Amino acid sequence: MADALLDVRHLSTRFTTREGVVRAVDDVSWDVKEGETVALVGESGCGKSVSALSIMRLVAQPAGQIVGGQAVFKGRDLLTLDEEAMRRVRGREIAMIFQEPMTSLNPVLSIGRQLTEGLEIHLGKTPQQARGRAAELLGMVGIPDPERRLPQYPHQFSGGMRQRMMIAMALSCEPSLILADEPTTALDVTIQAQILELMKDLSRRLGVAMLMITHNLGVVARYADRVNVMYAGRIIEQGTARELYGNPRHPYTLGLLRSVPRLDEPRRSRLAPIDGQPPDLTRLPAGCAFLPRCAFRVDRCSVERPPLVPVAHTGPEPHVSACWEAERVIARQETR
């Protein structure tokens, strides 16, 4: 197995709020290998964004604190790097793409300037080289007529074009990893398809690894090699996309897959929701956080939190699930 490019081990991040301590990310481990696309999926509030922000050391302080763990990137733990070295990592080696590009684009700087700035500072290009490269990058992400676009401002771009612009900025520093946090959630399906195909194509061509954060199970199925399913700040199931969709071994993963209507299947007379709602992260129970919504629960679930352990799997890659009844989850599904 190839070495991990980014290896996150036992990461925990908490927020101190008036309501109590929010365990936003709680002892979470996952990795991304060179050139690979790994997904982090789960419902809103389960800790996806905080996971990515923790790795970039951009968690809102002082309320938010990384209280434990490591994020080893190319052999160095990002969580203990000095601020200067961390800035270089952010500018050059790991790039981030957010759901709403306007939050990370500067509204009063031209598109061209926003691109050339990084190229000059981080890659030491001359202003002229940087301009040429900026136009090239815009072309690469499918923005027509780049030369004419460079002097324009973000508000003159549509949502889809801004997201392309964000991708160009992310690629400008030639990173080896991109953390993409719901990059297409705000976009229409046809534009979402354009952007995702573009990202896939570029990551293949340039060998950039990607952490894809999303709540869209279809997007994960199409674009991710491996998947981490999060629930209430923890990873509850982990495996290849094929394995997880074909052989889900956690009631939550199974529930998610069943709750969405699908265009490739006959219409069901009734949808199968997951009852209830996610727990309050300031008042997590002692046992399994999914218990109140779980159809497979047994007595043990309320007293002992299930660890992530290997389950029977079909492919060569490991498949782990945090459920005492993991073997039964599949049994139920077969009798469906």
Partner 1 sequence: MTALLEVKNLVKHFEVSRGLVRAVDGVSFSLEKGETLGLVGESGCGKTTTGRCILQLERATSGSILFEGRELTTLDQSELRAVRRKMQVIFQDPYSSLNPRMTVGQIIAEPLAVHGIVRGSAARAARVKDLLSRVGLLPAHARRYPHEMSGGQRQRVGIARALAMEPSLIICDEPVSALDVSIQAQIINLLEDLQSEFGLTYLFIAHDLAVVRHISDRVAVMYLGKIAEMADRKTIYDNPRHPYTKALLSAVPIPDPELEMKRERIVLGGEVPSPLNPPSGCVFHPRCPIAVERCTHEIPVLRDLTPGHGAACHLAEIA
8 A C-beta contact, residue 153 and residue 107: yes
Report if residue 214 touches ligand ADP, rule: CB under 6 A.
Answer: no
Angle, alpha carbons 58-240-244 (nearest 5°): 100
Least distance (Å) from Mg ion to the CB of residue 182? 6
Report if residue 216 touches partner 1, rule: CB under 8 A.
Answer: yes
Angle, alpha carbons 78-25-48 (nearest 5°): 85
Q: What is the CA radius of gyration of the chain?
A: 21
3-class state of residue 298 by DSSP: coil
Find the part of the chain contacting ligand ADP (CB under 6 A) among 46-54, 65-73, 136-144, 312-320.
46-54
8 A C-beta contact, residue 213 and residue 182: yes
Least distance (Å) from partner 1 to the CB of residue 107? 21
Least distance (Å) from ligand ADP to the CB of residue 229? 12
Report if residue 21 touches partner 1, rule: CB under 8 A.
Answer: no
Which of Mg ion, ligand ADP, partner 1, none lies near 160, with the C-beta cut-off 5 to 8 A by kind? partner 1
Give the residue with the Cβ less far from Mg ion, 79 or 180: 180
d(CA 324, CA 306): 6
Least distance (Å) from Mg ion to the CB of residue 99? 7
8 A C-beta contact, residue 278 and residue 323: no
Position among 63, 85, 260, 312 found at the interface with partner 1 (CB under 8 A):
260
Q: Which residues pair with 94 in a beta bridge?
A: 177
Report if residue 49 touches Mg ion, rule: CB under 5 A.
Answer: yes
Find the part of the chain contacting partner 1 (CB under 8 A) among 65-73, 117-125, 133-141, 189-197.
189-197
Task: Characterise 318 by phi-psi region: left (phi > 0), alpha (psi -120 to 50), beta (else).
Answer: beta
| Residue 229: partners with Cβ closer than 8 Å, 6 or more residues away | 41, 42, 235, 236, 237, 238, 244, 250, 252, 253, 256
* Structure-token match 């031209």, residue found: 110
Give the residue with the Cβ less far from partner 1, 130 or 236: 236
Position among 84, 264, 299, 334 found at the interface with partner 1 (CB under 8 A):
264
d(CA 164, CA 152): 14
Find the part of the chain contacting partner 1 (CB under 8 A) among 62-70, 97-105, 117-125, 240-248.
240-248
Report if residue 43 touches partner 1, rule: CB under 8 A.
Answer: yes
Which of partner 1, Mg ion, ligand ADP, none lies near 336, with the C-beta cut-off 5 to 8 A by kind? none
Position among 4, 6, 12, 15 found at the interface with ligand ADP (CB under 6 A):
15
Give the residue with the Cβ less far from ligand ADP, 49 or 116: 49
